[in-house]
Chains A and B, each alone.
Chain A
Amino acid sequence: MATVRLEHITKKFGETTAVDDISLTVNDGEFVVLLGPSGCGKTTTLRIVSGLEVQSEGHVYIGDRVVDDVEPKDRNVAMVFQSYALYPHLKIYDNIAFGLKARHVPRAEIIKKVNETAKMLQIHQLLDRKPAALSGGQRQRVALARALVRDPEVFLLDEPLSNLDAKLRAATRIEIKNLHLRLRKTMIYVTHDQVEAMTLADKIAVINQGKLLQFASPMDVFMKPAHRFVGDFVGYPSMNMLGGELEETSAGTFFFTPVIRMKASGAQTGKYFLGIRPEDIVVSKSSSENSLECSVRGLERTGSDNYLFLDYSEGGIVASVTSPDYSVGEKVYVTFDPVNAHFFDAATGAAVQLSASF
């Protein structure tokens, strides 16, 4: 069984804290994606699991074993590097066989396993070549094969798709997902691409500035962001964030932004952000009750979706619309259903449950 458990992991490089008290458990066979912007500490976290980096504080468990003092070679993990890190002086066959040879697997078994794995990833015709003679996509498969052939307890993947072009990336994404469904091995996958995270993960760990902000299923991360950063980072275009204040008045508790006034309750008075996803914004050409007058600044068409960039008196809003039938400068009126509103504490960023209505 290969559960991976991180217990209060902190990693400091000199004065900077790369990983700040992260605790999470990856269950056996689970696909967990560490998601965050570059420099957030997600790769460092992965490297701590691999043993290439040693944490400053906390403990790492693989299975029932504490592996804090265990060398990478003895952790029974395999890693796919962002750069693929294929050994340039070795043929593809020897690249894939490298780990088996290091573990003194009998020759006949090495030959059998390398060929099987190469066939599975459709690179068996490349075994005699050197990495330099391969395309990016082929190298990526070799890197995967090198990890798979060892049949490790845990797979660690560090942005494995980031060097591929968009089309190949989408295709390989599906393959990796299928591979996981077939093998049911514990996988930890690092990416800054939220689409990869949403499509691949059983669970997403959203990390920012070394802190774990949310660890939940992709749908929960999307629907119930636990932190203002999560709401902002996951989903495209980003969630609209409107700063405002929860105030007691003689008529009850209200949430005010310069342009919105909502009845709201469930938290202490103070400063909050109202988050609303572009797809939850209703755009109309005629005004209605509680609608906000905006003018169209621009329209971005992607073919399937259209993103409407709007200006109102105090700022900007992005809305996702079905019709591309808008022109720049046109007046429109936007509103939204309060049930789709998210609230975040302005000071801590933490999500707050408010029941709100117009």
Chain B
Amino acid sequence: MKLPSFFGSMKKRLKGRIVSRILSHFALIVATLFALFPIYFIFWTSILKIQLAAITLSSLIPNLALITLYNYNYVLSDPTFFTIYLKNSLIFGLSAAGVGLVLALFTGYALSRFTFPGRKPFIYFIIALMQFPGTMLVIPYFFMFKELNLINTYLGLIIPYSAGSIVFTGILVKNYIDSIPEDLEEAALVDGETRTGAFTKVIIPLIKPILGLGILLAFIGPYTDFILARAFITGNSLQTLALRLYSVSSISSSGGAAIDYGVFSAFSFLMGIPILIIYLIFQKYIIGGLTLGGVKG
């Protein structure tokens, strides 16, 4: 009589497994819906004929009759979208990503590999910095950069944007390099490489995943920044997409300011495309990190 009870317990285990599968999938689906709904909502309102105030639950259901490209046309027909706003945002985003990544790379490497007095406190200091909201920086930075005559200049924003990358991306890089055995660099040194050679030929290829992620993060922050840009940019020529997003969708009416959500949504969507492109360029590195394996020999 042992056999049936054995199969019985197996059945019970199988049942338990199915139930837990269903529960976890249900939770994941709900979470995904919460994550996807805003994106769907913005996309749908960007091509919807109806104004936001008139939107009902039923008008959220895809319906060809309700679609218009008017909002996109409105945004893109203004050449300054490209010649001023996109250009400036890309200049800020890409230079901050470039400079910031190099700084983060050296910061991370130094914190991981070199021993120097004050190394540990410095790491804690950087981690502590992450706890402060960025908004806090606006006023001190403004005073500082005003003294340096850097208000309303490209450099005046690229410097704080790049510095921001050291904090978060620097720690990311440090943690990643920590997981790479020092033997690998030492093997390269004995094999005939200089320290720089070992760094570029062994460390850099191995930390590509984190560099891909770092570039993406170092780009998105400055590219979408509103707070610092709003304070630092006073003229028209340096205006960015994030600032324009605010002004382009404001409608002044007799009753005061309102926001045209159709234009707002279309603009937001267009603004997201460069981020997507950067992600697509670096995603093979980001995902490559998962399959690299075997670092531990």
Residues of chain A having any CB pair with chain B under 8 Å: 50-52, 71-73, 75, 77-79, 81-89, 98-99, 102-103, 130-133, 139, 146, 150, 156
Given contacts A86-B297, A131-B294, contact A99 B192 (CB under 8 A): yes
Which one, B53-61, B182-190, B254-262, is touching chain A? Answer: B182-190
Query: Smallest CB–CB gap between B115 and chain A, Å?
Result: 11
Query: Smallest CB–CB gap between A240 and chain B, Å?
Result: 40
CA–CA, A85 to B191, complex, Å?
12
- The answer to whether A73 and B292 touch across the interface, beta carbons within 8 angstroms, is no
- The answer to whether B183 and A85 touch across the interface, beta carbons within 8 angstroms, is yes
- The answer to whether B181 and A85 touch across the interface, beta carbons within 8 angstroms, is yes
- The answer to whether B184 and A85 touch across the interface, beta carbons within 8 angstroms, is yes
Query: Smallest CB–CB gap between B17 and chain A, Å?
Result: 31
Query: Smallest CB–CB gap between A60 and chain B, Å?
Result: 14
Interfacial chain A residues near B194, Cβ < 8 Å? 71, 73
CA–CA, A141 to B193, complex, Å?
22
Given contacts A85-B183, A89-B205, contact A78 B293 (CB under 8 A): no
- The answer to whether B189 and A132 touch across the interface, beta carbons within 8 angstroms, is no
Interfacial chain B residues near A52, Cβ < 8 Å? 186, 189-190
Given contacts A89-B205, A89-B292, A102-B197, contact A84 B190 (CB under 8 A): no
- The answer to whether B297 and A88 touch across the interface, beta carbons within 8 angstroms, is yes
What is the total number of residues of chain B having a CB less than 8 Å from a CB of chain A? 23
B220 within 8 A of A: no
Given contacts A73-B192, A102-B197, A103-B192, contact A88 B187 (CB under 8 A): no
Within 46-88 of B, Cβ neighbours of A (below 8 Å) are at none
- The answer to whether A89 and B206 touch across the interface, beta carbons within 8 angstroms, is yes
Per CB-CB distance, the 9 closest pairs between chain A and chain B, nearest first, are A132-B294, A102-B192, A99-B191, A85-B183, A85-B187, A72-B189, A73-B192, A89-B205, A79-B190
Residue of A nearest to B208 (CB): A89
CA–CA, A77 to B183, complex, Å?
16
- The answer to whether B292 and A83 touch across the interface, beta carbons within 8 angstroms, is no
Residue of B nearest to A53 (CB): B186
Interfacial chain A residues near B206, Cβ < 8 Å? 88-89
Interfacial chain A residues near B188, Cβ < 8 Å? 87, 98, 102
CA–CA, A225 to B30, complex, Å?
74
Residue of A nearest to B291 (CB): A132
Contact among B193, B205, B297 for A102, CB-based, below 8 A? B193
CA–CA, A98 to B189, complex, Å?
11
- 20 A–B contact pairs at CB < 8 A? A50-B190, A52-B186, A71-B189, A72-B189, A73-B193, A78-B190, A78-B191, A79-B186, A79-B190, A82-B183, A83-B296, A85-B184, A85-B297, A87-B187, A88-B295, A99-B191, A102-B191, A132-B292, A132-B293, A150-B191
Please, what's the 1-or-0 string for B261-297, where 1 marks a CB less than 8 Å from any CB in chain A?
0000000000000000000000000000000111111
Most chain B beta-carbon contacts within 10 A, residue among A78, A79, A87, A139: A87
- The answer to whether A81 and B186 touch across the interface, beta carbons within 8 angstroms, is yes
Interfacial chain B residues near A150, Cβ < 8 Å? 191-192
B202 within 8 A of A: yes
Within 173-222 of B, Cβ neighbours of A (below 8 Å) are at 181, 183-184, 186-194, 197, 201-202, 205-206
Query: With contacts A52-B189, A98-B191 known, what are 15 further pairs, Cβ within 8 A?
Result: A52-B186, A73-B194, A78-B191, A79-B186, A83-B183, A86-B297, A88-B184, A88-B295, A88-B297, A89-B292, A98-B188, A102-B192, A130-B294, A131-B294, A132-B293
Interfacial chain A residues near B181, Cβ < 8 Å? 83, 85
Interfacial chain B residues near A50, Cβ < 8 Å? 190
Contact among B186, B189, B193, B297 for A131, CB-based, below 8 A? B297
Most chain A beta-carbon contacts within 10 A, residue among B190, B194, B292: B190
